[in-house]
Amino acid sequence: MQGRHAQGAELFDRAPGSEGARRRARLVHETMAGTRRVKEACEELGICPQRFEAIRWDVVIASVAATEPGKAGRPRKKVSAAAAQLEALRRENAELRARLAAVQVQAELAAALPRLAGKKP
């Protein structure tokens, strides 16, 4: 059989979070997988079965919520006001430079060809 080997409760040891939270999540997983009895998990955590069921229910709810489909595509980048203003100024600068270049060409043409500009030599 090809592919990755199945991983189980050891994933919780590498997950971010406090040691206690990882331990509780691992024990919940083990009870749901049938590799540990609820009574054993309760004894290890020092809690009653009702509290363990509440923790297990919270884990189930969080798991389902985490697997809800998200919006398709990449999220939009948030642009700060300063970045938006900078981009607007860059566009304006480029436009003004283009206008300046056009006016300079017009001035050169007027100097070189005065009769086309309506002036007499």
Can you give the residue ranges of every domain in the chain? 11-66, 87-121
Task: Render pLDDT for 34-50 as a digit per residue (tens, 0 to 9).
Answer: 999 999 999 999 999 99
Q: How confident is the model at residue 24 (pLDDT cuts 50, 70, 90)?
A: very high
The residue type of 89 is: L
Contacts of 31 (CB under 8 A, 6+ apart): 37, 38, 41, 52, 56
Q: Show the tokens assigned to 79.
A: 């642009």
The count of residues in the chain is 121
Structure tokens, 49: 């079965």
Q: What pTM did the predictor assign?
A: 0.54
- Per-residue pLDDT reduced to its tens digit, 58-108: 999 999 999 999 888 888 888 888 988 999 999 999 999 999 999 999 998
